Structure 1
Amino acid sequence: MCLHPTHIIADHIKQPNATSQLHISNHTGKGRKQNMKPRFSQLIIVILFLVALFPGSALAHETEQTDDGDFFTIVWVSDTQDMAYRNRRDVLEKMGQWIIRNRDALRIRYVVQTGDAVDNGASPWQWEAYDFLLRPFQGKIPYIAAAGNHEVKKNGFLEFSMRDDVRKIPRSHTIDRGKAAFATFSIHDRKFIIVSVGYGVELEYAGWMNQVLRMHKDHTAILILHDYLAVTGNFSHTGKEVFKQVVVPNPNVRLVLCGHVTSLKARADEIDDDGDGTPDRVVNQLLYDYQHFKDDCGQIRWLRFDLNNRSITVTTYSPHTERYYKDFNFGNQAIFTITDAF
């Protein structure tokens, strides 16, 4: 199933067709490929064979990284609050161990968290539980997080800002003690920037995001937010404003990742940057949030960026259940590819 992009000119926003509901089942390993059309984003389903993944040696944590490979991976975790609340340290540790074991095989360059790492940001023991996820790769793979509503609902950003991973962000790369931050890295001659903004301050820091994105206009930009897409697959109220105020004005924005609501959703928007009536880029926006599960948990989503054909292959897997998880938005497949992605 192909997700058809919405064409955006200036401030006009056309809502896409409704997307399907969350579905979870085993990976089938089967897929079909769609025909490609020029100047449009194609989301195609491919047949992929999984390779064995082996442990690797340690790498130093760096903000700027270079690599000689033709692909790299960003690991994406989101809304792990139920695992922290239920003190599922065993599951969280399996997730972290899987990430570090597969660092070299997948060429993992960043781990991102789209918010609600814990259920209560004022609870020290929940953060202690969540640290079981981070500890295996801490100092070995860079990590950046956006605070969710559960982190900030009690004491605002107080506890989140005191986290070691937040305090260690260079001051030149953050604002207001970690409420928003960015990180850059390069692979070959391709430059990337990840911009994260916490829950409830997205519009307050829209100007800051624009400034950062303009300063790095030669970097492909990935936005990390908590609240952006709704359970319907349309924009949330905040997401609609971020799209209008930040995504549309910055031609380097190509991907937005979010969580917040229990669902898997996706939308693609074509944007005409120069106003000539022809789309200049497609922005893909993905919502990924598994929560409220007792035992069927521990999902990790990883995004494999292919530098040769500018595609992103997305896989969802739980090292706890040892299962792959399907996404109805992409033909009910556990592995799908977004073409013309960056």
Structure 2
Amino acid sequence: MAVAVVVAGGTVGGGAIRTAAADATDTKFSFAVLPDTQQEVINSSDTRFLNRTNWLVRNRSALDLRFVTSSGDVVNWDTPDHAQYVTARSAMRPIENAAIPYALALGNHDTQAPGVGGPVRDPARELIRDTTVFNQYFTVSQYRAVKGQFEAGKVDNSYSTFEAGGAQWLVLTLELWPRVAAVNWARNVVAANPRHNVIVVTHDYIDGNGAIEQSAGFGATSPQYLFDNLVKQYANIRFVFSGHTGIAGNRVDTGVNGNKIYSFLQTFHSNSTNPVRLVEIDTAANSLRTWIYAPHTNRSFTEYDRSFSGIGVVR
């Protein structure tokens, strides 16, 4: 039975490097969202994933980086020696060593549903919930800031908190096409933390055109179900990040309480570089700026730069 378990717990693309203020009056900070990294772990000699995390650590002060998350498909498929998990785990070690809290959402490729080479195996609906290997390589102790889990011993559905910009933040990572019970657990988490600005991260939510996905795939509920039953229902939900399909995109919705909800896609499936989405929040200006930068090739994807004001930070 699923229960909530509380646990203890260079050049910058899109703008010039700035040094974070040393006092409490600094209201700007950032967090990073990794896209689908599955193409970066197939060969152990591929250094793009590690290059990205090393870059984030080197630029931590310049970005005032407070959190790192991922929209899933961290690996491509499992093998008997779990080689792709080893590569991904090693790539996240700089973040861990720098004591930056993080949380990775799980995609379909992070489960036992895909076989070697990627084909979906049967029974897919059961295998997509088999995340045993992922949970061997990524744990709440490594994530550092986890405050609760839907299922004990599993990071598939968990939430982490941090403070930044004079506000409280909650990062809620949800399994792909989540079970109804997982969505209900998430509703309880958000309702119990009304003074936190909530960042939802799940693998499939919007497509490259910014439309909310309608299919539940071989999961339990659709992204539209997630929007209707969680995302739009709470005044403190601010952002949703996803991957899985398309390249990059965004949309803005209005929740039932009149709050704006900013959703962003970053998938890429790159074979040549290593994009990362940076999100800068200015709580004094009540604004956000986001851009995508690839340190491996020093490339800025300026076509995806976005800025919004009046985002409604909860204090």
Quick check: TM above 0.5?
Answer: yes
Q: Please provide the CA RMSD for this pair.
A: 2.4
Q: Which ranges in structure 1 are unaligned for 5 or more consecutive residues?
A: 1-47, 55-65, 274-279, 328-333
**Aligned-pair CA distance for 1:106:** 0.8
Q: Which residue of 1 aligns with 2:134?
A: 160
Q: Which residue of 2 aligns with 1:174?
A: 149
Runs of 4+ in 1 over 4 A off after TM superposition: 167-172
Please tell me whether residue 267 in structure 1 is matched to residue 242 in structure 2: no
Q: Secondary structure at the match of 1:89?
A: coil
2:36–2:244 Cα contact (<8 Å) kept: yes
Q: 1:19-40 CA deviation, whole Å, 9 max, x = no partner? A: xxxxxxxxxxxxxxxxxxxxxx
Q: Which residue of 1 aligns with 2:308?
A: 338
- The equivalent position to 1:82 in structure 2, one of 39, 57, 63, is 39
Q: 1:13-66 CA deviation, whole Å, 9 max, x = no partner? A: xxxxxxxxxxxxxxxxxxxxxxxxxxxxxxxxxxx9732478xxxxxxxxxxx9
Which residue identity does 2:251 align to in structure 1?
A: R
Please tell me whether residue 148 in structure 1 is matched to residue 148 in structure 2: no
Q: Which residue of 2 aligns with 1:44?
A: none
Q: Which residue of 2 aligns with 1:199?
A: 176
Q: Which ranges in structure 2 are unaligned for 5 or more consecutive residues?
A: 1-12, 114-126, 215-221
**Aligned-pair CA distance for 1:178:** 1.6
2:147–2:160 Cα contact (<8 Å) kept: no
Question: What is the aligned-residue identity percentage?
Answer: 20
Q: Secondary structure at the match of 2:30?
A: strand
Q: Which residue of 1 aligns with 2:96?
A: 138
Q: Which residue of 2 aligns with 1:283?
A: 261
In the comparison of the two structures, how many residue pairs are matched? 271
How far apart in 2 are the matches of 1:240 and 1:67?
39
Point out the more displaced range, 78-87 or 150-159: 150-159
1:209–1:246 Cα contact (<8 Å) kept: yes
Which residue identity does 1:137 align to in structure 2?
A: I
**Aligned-pair CA distance for 1:298:** 0.7
Point out the more displaced range, 316-325 or 187-196: 187-196
Q: Secondary structure at the match of 1:185?
A: strand
**Aligned-pair CA distance for 1:197:** 0.7
Q: Secondary structure at the match of 2:26?
A: coil
Please tell me whether residue 322 in structure 1 is matched to residue 298 in structure 2: yes
How far apart in 2 are the matches of 1:188 and 1:318?
26
Which residue identity does 2:150 align to in structure 1?
A: I
Which structure has more RCO (C-alpha within 8 Å, separation ≥ 6)? 1
- The equivalent position to 1:249 in structure 2, one of 233, 238, 241, is 233
157 and 322 in structure 1: CA distance in 2 versus 1, 3 angstrom threshold: same
2:177–2:223 Cα contact (<8 Å) kept: no
Please tell me whether residue 94 in structure 1 is matched to residue 51 in structure 2: yes
157 and 195 in structure 1: CA distance in 2 versus 1, 3 angstrom threshold: same
How far apart in 1 are the matches of 2:147 and 2:162?
15
Q: Secondary structure at the match of 2:302?
A: coil
Which residue identity does 2:286 align to in structure 1?
A: R
How far apart in 2 are the matches of 1:146 and 1:166?
13
Please tell me whether residue 70 in structure 1 is matched to residue 38 in structure 2: no
